[in-house]
């Protein structure tokens, strides 16, 4: 190897000297792909056993290599072995560590594999493992929302469309409407995981190996369901990164919608929710301020989560098979998505679980803005009036109230009769938020009954996620 500068390189043989500094600086990835080290070491152990099975390492050599890999693993975990900037990437750094421990014997492990199948394997392992951690944090946020929902099963609130008062809803129902997207995201993670559980090892650089390797054994040892069926696809494929980033981008979008609502709910104009001091921030100049920065960061960070997906899709577009160095750009967005959500989700969970719901303000706001008008129209429909006509009649009542500056229940018996012969004073029975909510009894609707049923369903589904989230990806 041409290592005149003393650096370990995996490709020095045909080169007269070391790389130009500008190239080395551009090409180095160890500052971020070092996160893959524990997974690279796992894959190396599996590969060493396969080489021994093929007769390419004798039992003594296998023992020495496994012991050195264990030692290197502990040294990495303890921070005693660290990458240096001359280590182009994580694979180079770990080979250096092995050579330091074993001398020439350390060079035997590279037989039959390439950084191309290694890096694809490492990243799959890393993402599958971290998907579990992400699921744990998602379940914690879903729990926080569900617990608040349980406390507000019959708290009335003004349901909005176009941010205008539409119809009364229960606040519990509203909070649970933020849990269902998270449950779908969790479903997406598990579906993604099944497709990501394919092992690229054995594919080598692109063409497989002339050595008698055992890709199925490696796959099994690393917790994959099967080895890749096509070695070229195995090293060229980054669908698993793009799909993962789609899931994290969509999680970001969901969190941004929740964040935006919390910003509204905590505003002086709404005043529906008060944040706990520990989960709100102040202003350096305005002493009265209490800001929902967590909610705003949820809104803001959705940008980088969506950006990561777009970066990887754009990087992959038009890329010829098989491996191209462009693909080194797959890692930072993936790491960033995991780290961003790792910060955001616990903060959101804490903010939601400690916030105080202002039941008085919500109850007061629920009927405002003629939100009970649809009840009148439905009342007319139950009396045989075609909905088109019922809508028209109710619209006239609202117009009359607007002129008078009063609410629907303030209209006199005469007013009702003047607007339509179909109306009579008994219509006032439906002009209460309580009756509007109590009448919503069909499954999935906003009445306290169906919301209690929904709550049980959501809690049950979250329990099944708790089990998946602690599953080990690699049986150790």
Q: Which residues bind ligand ARG (CB under 6 A)?
A: 29, 33, 89, 115-116, 119, 323, 325, 327-328
Cα distance between residue 151 and residue 146, in whole Å? 9
Classified as helix, coil or strand, 165 is: strand
- DSSP for 97-137? HHHHHHGGGGGGGGTT--HHHHHHHHHHHHHHHHHHHHHHH
- Residue 325 or 388: which CB sits closer to ligand ARG? 325
Pairing of strands 198-199, 226-227: parallel
CB of 241 vs ligand ARG, minimal distance in Å: 11
- Residue 29 or 148: which CB sits closer to ligand ARG? 29
Residue 294: CB partners within 8 Å, gap ≥ 6? 259, 262, 279, 280, 347, 348, 350, 351
CB of 115 vs ligand ARG, minimal distance in Å: 4
Cα distance between residue 401 and residue 404, in whole Å? 5
Cα distance between residue 252 and residue 255, in whole Å? 5
Is residue 122 within 8 A of residue 43, CB to CB? The reply is yes
CB of 327 vs ligand ARG, minimal distance in Å: 5
CB of 310 vs ligand ARG, minimal distance in Å: 19
Catalytic residue IDs? 162, 283
CA separation (Å) from 258 to 124, 275, 292, 307, 359?
30, 14, 12, 20, 19
CB of 210 vs ligand ARG, minimal distance in Å: 19
- Residue 40 or 261: which CB sits closer to ligand ARG? 40
- Residue 89 or 237: which CB sits closer to ligand ARG? 89
- Residue 49 or 238: which CB sits closer to ligand ARG? 238
Cα pseudo-dihedral 368, 371, 377, 380, rounded to 10: -50
- Cβ atoms < 10 Å from Cβ of 280: 19
CB of 111 vs ligand ARG, minimal distance in Å: 16
Cα distance between residue 423 and residue 276, in whole Å? 48
Cα pseudo-dihedral 469, 470, 473, 476, rounded to 10: 180
- Residue 114 or 256: which CB sits closer to ligand ARG? 114
CB of 123 vs ligand ARG, minimal distance in Å: 8
- Residue 31 or 396: which CB sits closer to ligand ARG? 31
CA angle 213, 219, 222 (to 5 degrees): 120
């Amino acid at each position: 190897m041409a290592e005149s500068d003393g650096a370990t390189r995996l490709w020095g043989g045909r080169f007269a000297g070391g790389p130009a500094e500008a190239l080395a600086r551009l090409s180095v990835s160890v500052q971020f792909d070092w996160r893959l080290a524990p997974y690279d070491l796992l894959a190396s152990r599996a590969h060493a056993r396969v080489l021994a099975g093929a007769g390419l390492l004798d039992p003594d050599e296998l023992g020495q290599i496994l012991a050195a890999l264990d030692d290197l693993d502990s040294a990495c975990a303890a921070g005693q072995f660290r990458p240096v900037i001359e280590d182009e990437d994580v694979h180079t750094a770990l080979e250096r560590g092995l050579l330091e421990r074993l001398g020439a014997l350390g060079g035997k492990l590279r037989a039959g594999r390439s950084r191309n199948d290694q890096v694809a394997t490492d990243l799959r392992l890393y993402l599958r493992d971290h998907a579990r951690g992400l699921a744990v944090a998602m379940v914690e946020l879903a729990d926080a929302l569900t617990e608040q929902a349980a406390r507000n099963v019959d708290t009335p609130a003004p349901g909005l469309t176009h941010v205008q008062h539409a119809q009364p809803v229960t606040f519990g129902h509203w909070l649970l409407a933020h849990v269902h997207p998270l449950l779908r995201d969790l479903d997406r993670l598990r579906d993604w995981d099944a497709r990501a559980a394919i092992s690229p090892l054995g594919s080598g650089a692109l063409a497989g190996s002339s050595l008698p390797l055992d890709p199925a054994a490696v796959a099994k040892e690393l917790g994959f369901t099967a080895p890749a069926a096509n070695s070229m696809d195995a090293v060229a494929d980054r669908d698993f990164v793009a799909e993962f980033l789609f899931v994290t981008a969509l999680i970001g979008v969901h969190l941004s919608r929740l964040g935006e609502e919390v910003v509204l709910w905590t505003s002086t104009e709404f005043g529906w929710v008060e944040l706990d001091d520990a989960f709100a921030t102040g202003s350096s100049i305005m002493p009265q301020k209490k800001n929902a920065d967590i909610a705003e960061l949820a809104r803001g960070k959705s940008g980088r989560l969506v950006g990561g997906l777009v970066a990887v899709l754009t990087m992959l577009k038009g890329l010829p098979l098989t491996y191209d160095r462009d693909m080194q750009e797959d890692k930072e967005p993936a790491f960033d998505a995991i780290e961003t959500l790792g910060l955001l989700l616990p903060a959101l969970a804490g903010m939601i679980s400690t916030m105080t719901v202002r039941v008085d303000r919500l109850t007061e706001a629920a009927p405002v803005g003629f939100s009970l008008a649809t009840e009148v129209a439905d009342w007319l429909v139950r009396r045989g009036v075609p909905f088109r006509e019922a809508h028209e009649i109710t619209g006239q009542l609202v117009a009359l109230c607007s002129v008078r500056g009063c609410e629907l229940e303030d209209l006199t018996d005469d007013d009702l009769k003047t607007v339509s012969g179909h109306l009579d004073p008994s219509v006032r029975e439906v002009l209460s938020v309580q009756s509007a909510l109590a009448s919503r009894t069909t499954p999935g609707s906003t009445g306290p009954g169906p919301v209690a049923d929904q709550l049980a369903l959501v809690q049950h589904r979250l329990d099944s996620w708790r089990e998946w989230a602690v599953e080990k990806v690699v049986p150790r």
